[in-house]
Homo-oligomer: A and B are copies of this chain.
Amino acid sequence: MKVQPTAQIDSQPVTMEGAVGCQVRWLIGERDGAPNFAMRQFEVGVGGHTPKHSHPYEHEVYVLEGAGEILDGDTPRPFRAGDVIFVQSDEVHQFRNTGSAPLKFLCLVPNSSSSLPVKMAPECGDAR
């Protein structure tokens, strides 16, 4: 059993193309022996955003702090702390911090995601 304050876990910059002002902590993952899915915590600075992209696996998201919007394809949908977001496989999406404070959310993915391709939306670069 692992019981740990989140702040003790390494925070790393998100280097994926299209990410601006994003940090990630891997709270629970395969290194902990998690057999099915991983829990990550993202922090997006004021004005920052994740890549606009899609992939053949889902996101299960809980918004911890702050406010923002998620692009659902090209449609912005606002959210704030306490909201839950479910992004299905292959849905184009982008998280944007539209507030005046850091945006923090949990984003969980199946372990299979590590071997599946990510497709960038056109405005962020070529498909890869």
Contacts and interface: CB of A to CB of B under 8 A. Distances in A.
Contacts of A2: 84-86
Interface centre among A27, A84, A91 (most CB of B within 10 A): A84
Interface in A15-54: 27-28, 32-37, 39
Interface of A: 1-7, 9, 27-28, 32-37, 39, 58, 60, 62, 64, 70, 72, 77, 79, 82-89, 91, 93, 106, 108, 110
A82 B5 contact: yes
A1 B93 contact: yes
> Is chain A's binding surface mostly helix, strand, loop or mixed?
strand
Contacts of A39: 60, 62, 84, 108
A67 to B, nearest CB: 12
Contact of A79 (B3, B7, B87, B110): B3
A33 B34 CA distance: 22
A88 B1 CA distance: 6
Contacts of A7: 82
B37 A84 contact: no
A94 to B, nearest CB: 12
Given A1-B70, A1-B72, 4 more contacts: A7-B82, A32-B86, A35-B58, A62-B106
